[in-house]
Copies of this chain bind each other. A is one copy, B any other.
Amino acid sequence: MKPKVTIEDIARLAGVSKATVSRVLNERSNVKAETRERVLRIMQEQGFVPSLAAAGLAGGRSRLVGVLTPPFTQPTVPEILRGVAEAIEHTDYEIVLYSTNAGQSPTTIVNRILALGLTSCLLVIQPGPLTPRLLQLASQGLPVVVIDDQGPPPELPSVGIDNRVSAYQATMHLIRLGYRRIAHLQGPAEFRCAQERYQGYRQALDDAGLPFDPALVFNGTFETASGRACAVALATLPLTERPEAIFIANDQMAFGFLSAAEALGLRIPQDLAVVGFDDIPLSAHVRPTLTTIKQPFYEMGRNAVELLLSLLHGPATQPVAGAEGGYQPPIRIQLPTRLVIRESCGALTLHRRQEQEHSLSDE
């Protein structure tokens, strides 16, 4: 149906050997300029595009980057993928997508991916801890970059944010607004980012000379339901023990909190100020709109791709087993976050809307 133009065709038309065409393709230097241009021109004319499949087979390394993602409906994912896709587009690589639908072993998928022999490197968007299998492969030399929107420990090259500092800023924002009793709804302990955000919260209290009250720290799961549960727990607290504000470790839980609070007759921010973490699309649209820490998801995607490709092209920094030369930690790109001030923290009502974000107007 489609008479694919092959290297052989080009070679014949250009009057050179296939090997030479191949050299031109791979931008080898050892081709006479004149020849190169002729070949290039003919490739143009014929609309030649090399077969990635064959190139991968023959050359060993393919031009496909495997991208391992959680379900697309997880709110942080689309933005990250947009960044990834855009970065890839400027290269001659393509994306092979492996979506990990909840409930299937990540190890299985990883095995499948690699064994397929399609992809020569992996970009992992994975909430929570990494599969041992992945670590093992990486240590064997497979280029892997992790985007830790939810914060896996950086045992691999990774792109992410400084959760501790960001949480510190979020908490400090509440403190500056004059709140004294500040609660925290934290994420599950398996997530390193949950711990880090907790630490940032603690640190802010300390630095402000505020007492830490363990009774004000609630355990959550990063899911909406636990936000609701937390609101209920707070509402049952005696008025004197009730906090004036709460820093919630992700927006998803904050949504649950807001909706339950509304149902419970708890006014946000008048009765209780709320700051979240992530800034996913909904955050600008819930009522009240959510003050939160904005993670630069798009940029994370872009940076991850760049890092991955640089790993791929750069010298094979093979982690020699038992190397004595001192352990050097994997590369980490840390992107800045930003506090987005909206209604839920009370800053707007307190400070007459100095930095208000128009909710729907920016789309």
In the complex, A114 Cα to B112 Cα: how many Å?
25
Is the Cβ of B51 less than 8 Å from the Cβ of A116? yes
Interface residues of A in 29-77 (CB under 8 A from B): 47-54, 56-57, 62, 64, 67, 71-73, 77
A1 touches B53 (CB 8 A): no
Complex contacts, A360 vs chain B, CB 8 Å: 224, 255-256, 258-259, 286
Is A115's beta carbon under 8 Å from chain B?
A: yes
Residues of chain B contacted by A89 (CB below 8 angstroms): 99, 101, 104
Would A51 and B57 count as touching, CB distance under 8 A?
A: yes
Bound together, the chains give a CA A111 to CA B5 distance in angstroms of: 12
A24–B266 alpha-carbon span in the complex (Å): 64
Contact with B along A133-154 (1 / 0, CB 8 A): 0000100111000000000000
User: Binary interface profile of A, 277-300, with partner B (CB < 8 Å = 1, else 0)?
Assistant: 000011001110000000000000
Q: For the complex, is A311 an interface residue (Cβ under 8 Å from B)?
A: no
Contact A52:B118 (CB < 8 A) given known A73-B78, A89-B101: yes
8 tightest A-B CB contacts, nearest first: A49-B115, A51-B117, A85-B99, A259-B360, A72-B78, A1-B141, A95-B97, A224-B363
Q: 14 new A-B pairs (CB below 8 Å) besides A49-B116, A52-B116, A86-B101?
A: A48-B115, A49-B115, A51-B115, A51-B118, A52-B118, A53-B57, A57-B57, A64-B118, A67-B97, A72-B78, A94-B118, A96-B96, A285-B285, A287-B287
